[in-house]
Amino acid sequence: MKPNSYNPYVSAQTQFDNVAAMINLEPGVRELLRQPLREIHFTIPVKMDDGSTKVFKGFRIVHNDARGPAKGGIRFHPHETADTVRALSMWMTWKCAVVDIPLGGGKGGVICDPHNLSKGEQERLCRGFARRVAQNIGPVIDVPAPDVMTNGQHMLWIMDEFEAIAGGRYPGVITGKPIGMGGSLGRKEATGYGVIYVLREALKKLNIDISKTTASIQGFGNVAEYAARLYSLMGGRIIALSTWDEHDKKAYTFRKKDGLDIEKMVEIKDSFGTIDKKKAADLGCDILDGGEWLSQDVDIIMPCALENQLTPEVFTKISDNVKVICEGANGPTTPDCDKLIKEKGIFIIPDFLCNAGGVTCSYFEQVQCNMNYFWTKEEVLEKLDTKMTQAFNAVYDLAEDKRLYMRDAAYVIAINRVAEAVKLRGWV
């Protein structure tokens, strides 16, 4: 999806400031938690296949690690910025806290477009990234993971380079690894499944039968794919999907009013989530403008792409029948749009609760790697369901008890947990 004028770090700080004021957070704690603890900015020279050298800019930022080692993904994206990574690291802190796992928040990024890099160039970039951050990551310091346009193979290259530098085997240094190389069963499904676990709980509270609902999704990467699969298995119908087409440099919405066959849509997408337009048309899909996913007459919308996609400007397109917004992406809603969501009476499952299944399963992977004992897929997904359900109910109960907006309730729980850890450590 295209970048826009909203600064995600300003959005993250605005959300934090609003809740910090609401709970009368002490000035010292407030100042500490509204910015990262540490940042590393670096360059990575990579020998390209044609013999030239290209220099890439990278970041690794830790927002807070009072509750445990920092945790957060590494993005490869041509529009990556330090402020985006700062915001994402902050959201990771709240995400780990709201599901009550003993980790802090971090994030990494490299300004690049892997579409335009060969496999060898991507490997050299990953190994260069590992060399730049080797002194600052580790199983008890900071544990990276895949994110936008990175995958298990990228993580394995980073782990291999780290181990060569450290002189040992440290599978817990990174998560999202391939199965058989320290990866956890259930990890690829975890974030998307987590989205649907909390949606299921929300619909129970709203007395809505999930099998009678329809949905529209933005994105069709890993998160959206597995959210769509589980939602469909529970009887829901996906009416529309919106994905970015790298070749055309624009987004398209693929719509089928009687419901998309998600398994067939998966078969015609590439590893970056781009759907083949010709094959989609052959399946009977209407091919619309990328923004049309938002205007579909559905019960549920799931932004599962990038940040700052729901703004006041586009919010007017949302159907009056929409009852729930599931924020599968990080920071998809701008702070000035929350007011409109409240006014419209739409139930929102905020991002750092809704998509916390990924980091929860990453935590499970880290635990399994560190003890060198691995669980079955059923065990992983059962533990994930339990964690996500408990977290949702805690946020919902607080929202009901104190008459809070769901996002504010999630922030109150997360910020209080991190603030308590900071104070107990004597940092403030």
CB 142 within 8 A of CB 105: no
Q: Which two tokens stand for residue 115?
A: 């579409």
Q: How far apart are CA 414 and CA 133, in angstroms?
A: 28
CA distances, 13 to each of 9, 81, 293, 337 (Å): 6, 16, 29, 15
CB 34 within 8 A of CB 26: no
Is-catalytic flag, 107?
yes
Query: What is the bridge-based pairing of β-strands 237-245 and 250-255?
Result: antiparallel
Nearest to 159 by CA among 9, 332, 369, 391: 369
CA distances, 95 to each of 104, 248, 269, 324 (Å): 9, 34, 29, 20
Q: Which of 95, 107, 256, 387 is catalytic?
A: 107
Q: Which two tokens stand for residue 283?
A: 């399946």
Q: Which residues pair with 288 in a beta bridge?
A: 253
Q: How far apart are CA 127 and CA 302, in angstroms?
A: 35
Nearest to 15 by CA among 337, 402, 398: 337
Q: Which residues are catalytic?
A: 107
